[in-house]
Amino acid sequence: MYHPRMRLKPFRLLRSGPLVGALYLLTWLLLWPTAQPYWMLPYGVRFGALLLLPMRQWGWILGAELLASAGMSLHEGLPMGWSGYLLGELPEPLVTAAGLWLLRRFNPHAGSSLHNPQETTRLLLAAILVVLCTSTVGVGLLTMVHTLAAEDALIHLLGNELLGGYLGVLLVVPVMILLLRAPPSRQAVAGLLLDGLQVMLPAMAVLWLLSEKAASEPQFARALSLAPVLFFAFRHGWRGASLAMIVSSLGMTALDRQLGHPSSAAGYLFLAVAGTGTLMLGSATDALRRSKLRVAEQNTHLAAVNRRLDLLARQLRAAARGNLQVDENQRRHLAAELHDELGQNITAIQTHVKLAQARLQQAGLEDIGTSINGILAHMRRALHRVLDDLRPAVLDEFGLLRALDEGPIRDLLNTAGISYRTELRGDPRMLDDDTRTTIYRLAQESATNAVKHARAGEFRLRLRIGERRGAALALLDLRDDGIGLPERLPRGGHGLQGMRDRVTSLGGVFRLRPETQGVHLRVLLRSSIESPVTSRNI
């Protein structure tokens, strides 16, 4: 749109009061010949200057206007004398200045921009109020001078003053805001010039031809002049609308004078209504574009944040998976150490007890040998349970499917009197080792919970393995018909939370589904597809 530094450049040239007064005087003299009963561009210049320039320069502005009006009155011969001149020319700028002083006091940012319909509405309402006060004071003073003036003539004069002043503000002030407060970028200026050559000039030429052919219906051409203004409002916002509106109105005014069409209040009232609508439309278009730009910037920012979060999530999953692998390696190493050291020692003790059995019988200590053998058998069974918890040998020896269907999980459930049903589909060789281990651990933990806490009569396991979009998927469904979960679930590294952590570390989905009876778990795991040749047993 425009760079913030560009807003200050126009004011560097307008810091000098005498320079401001000279520029204002020159502008006033250039625009005064265009003044008509319904079309007062000098009033708009005064309104815009008092609205946008610092108050310390108001004296130069008002002085330049009084000097210009005094010069023109002297040129006309002062028909009402100096008292009539002061009574006719001095109150209007003073009332305008007083109204704008109140406006700027209660709304310091008034006229700073027209970037949204709210700001545009406030500016136009302020213009209507100030023009109304100015016109009322002017007509009131006129009645004091001309006491015999007809009431209808005064009302007609008041309407003309209101319409002319409002049109002056509507046409001039947005252009002044564009130049002094919100200058467009070079790209925007190039677009305005290009559309002016391609749209505005051909449109004005067509309207000129239509007005010559339909001289009896000038309002038809005036209505058609609104088309390019609407185009500029949609294409360039309030800047395009204000520039197109003043060009179109100047062209139509010059056309009316050239063709001799009489000025009518209805035509200029249409211009005021159309100009107000197109300026509001341009402001709304600018606001919509900025809103879309902000949304796009927020979406870009959110996309970048999401990418960083995805990267962080992948890093966290990789770290969790690494921890899981380290834990499994430690378990495997510890299981091997216990099997080699403690298992061999138990076997050695049993061998020595058998060798000493005859001596114990001779000494009448046969019951001690039997007791030692019982203790060693209990230690071996306990060792097998510990080894199975650390690293199930059945998973390495027989593969995932047989370990789930025929391994220690079935023995555990059958020993507790729980019916165990399985439904296994797919090829586990598609899964990596971490995923296979996690599936077995989940089933093992769920079965242990069913035995220890659920008081269930049946436990079901369903596993489906397949391929989708180049990745292996494993859907594990575990359920029992026990008493269900407690109201407050224990948290930590064990039980359901430990199962959830395992699944999360592999980037899977863990769902604890509500059931009227028992516990129902559904787990979805994704795995890179492994080559069956290099995989372990199934």
> For the domain that residue 503 is a member of, what is the CATH number?
3.30.565.10
| pLDDT (0 to 100) of residue 354 | 78
pLDDT in tens, 131-158: 999 888 877 776 766 655 566 766 777 8
Q: What percent of the chain has pLDDT over 90?
A: 20
Report the pLDDT averaged over residues 411-437.
90
User: Looking at the domain assignment, is residue 439 inside a domain?
Assistant: yes
Has residue 100 been placed in a domain? yes
Cα 285 to Cα 288: distance, rounded to the nearest angstrom: 5
Instruction: Give the residue from 168, 183, 198 where a domain finishes.
Output: 183
Identify whether 204 is part of a domain.
no
Structural domain contains residue 54: yes
Region 403-410 average pLDDT: 88
SS3 427: coil
Given the DSSP bridges, would you call strands 509-513 and 419-425 parallel, antiparallel or unpaired?
A: unpaired
- For residue 465, pLDDT over 90 is answered with yes
Rounded CA gap, 538 and 515, in Å?
32
Weakest mean pLDDT among 430-434, 501-505, 533-537: 533-537
Give the end of a domain, one of 145, 168, 183.
Answer: 183
d(CA 30, CA 254): 15
The pLDDT of residue 481 is above 80: yes
Q: Token digits for 454?
A: 């659920």
pLDDT digits (tens, 9 = 90+) for 160-171: 888 888 999 999
Residue 501 within any structural domain of the chain: yes
**Tens digit of each residue's pLDDT (9 = 90 or more) over 319-371:** 777 777 777 777 777 777 776 677 777 777 877 777 777 777 777 777 777 78
pLDDT at residue 419 is higher than 80: yes
How does the average pLDDT of the chain come out, rounded?
80
CATH, residue 24: 1.10.1760
Q: For residues 311 and 122, what is the distance between their CA atoms, to the nearest angstrom?
A: 49
Give the phi and the psi of residue 512 in degrees, each rounded to 5.
Answer: -100, 105
pLDDT at 10: 47
Residue of 197, 198, 293 lying closest to 237 (CA atoms):
293
Q: How confident is the model at residue 386 (pLDDT cuts 50, 70, 90)?
A: confident
Collapse the DSSP code of 336 into the 3-class scheme (helix H, G, I; strand E, B; otherwise coil) and give the result: helix
d(CA 329, CA 44): 85
Secondary element (H or E) of residue 437: helix 433-449
So what's the pLDDT on residue 312? 85
Task: Please report which confidence band the pLDDT of residue 464 belongs to, taking 50, 70 and 90 as the band edges.
Answer: very high
Q: Quick check: 85 and 70 in contact, CB under 8 A?
A: yes
Alpha carbons 27 and 49: distance in angstroms, whole number:
11
- For residue range 2-28, list pLDDT tens digits in order: 444 444 444 555 677 888 888 988 988
Higher pLDDT, 433 or 490: 433
211 domain residue, yes or no: no
| Phi then psi dihedrals of residue 462, to 5 deg | -130, 125
The span from the CA of 320 to the CA of 301, in Å, is 28
Any domain includes 493: yes
Angle at 528 between CA 523 and CA 531, to 5 degrees: 125
Packing angle between helix 201-213 and helix 226-259, nearest 10 degrees?
A: 50
pLDDT mean over 184-197: 88
The letter for the amino acid at 91 is: P
User: Residue 217: pLDDT band by 50, 70, 90 thresholds?
Assistant: low
Residue 384 has pLDDT above 90, yes or no: no
Q: What is the CA radius of gyration of the chain?
A: 46
| Residue at 421 is within a domain | yes
**What local confidence, expressed as pLDDT, does residue 7 receive?**
44
Q: Rounded distance, CA 68 to CA 21, Å?
A: 11
Helix, strand, coil share (%) of the chain residues, nearest 5 = 75, 10, 20
The pLDDT value given to residue 45: 92
| Predicted pLDDT at 14 | 60
Closest CA to 535 of 458, 385, 450, 428: 428
End position of a domain, from candidates 140, 160, 183:
183
* Banded pLDDT at 98 (limits 50, 70, 90): very high
Q: Which residues pair with 198 in a beta bridge?
A: none
Angle at the Cα of 218 (from 214 to 224), degrees rounded to 5?
A: 95
Query: How far apart, in whole angstroms, are the C-alpha atoms of residue 116 and residue 120?
Result: 7
For residue 428, the 8-state DSSP code is G
pLDDT of residue 535: 44
Task: Give me the half-sphere count of Cα atoms (radius 13 Å) on the Cβ side of residue 61.
Answer: 22
Portion of the chain with pLDDT greater than 70, in percent: 83
Residue 130 has pLDDT above 60, yes or no: yes
Cross-strand pairs, 202: none
SS3 label, residue 15: coil
CA distances 142 to 11, 98, 138, Å, are 38, 20, 6
CB 387 within 8 A of CB 335: yes
pLDDT at 462 over 90: yes
Domain count, the chain: 2
Cβ contact 145:91 at 8 Å: no
pLDDT recorded at residue 494: 58
Contact call for residues 244 and 195 (beta carbons, < 8 A): no
316: left (phi over 0), alpha (psi -120 to 50) or beta: alpha
**Position 41 confidence tier, pLDDT thresholds 50, 70, 90:** confident
Residue span of the structural domain in which 497 resides: 399-528
464 pairs with which residues across the strands? Answer: 425, 475
Higher-confidence residue of 258 and 189: namely 189
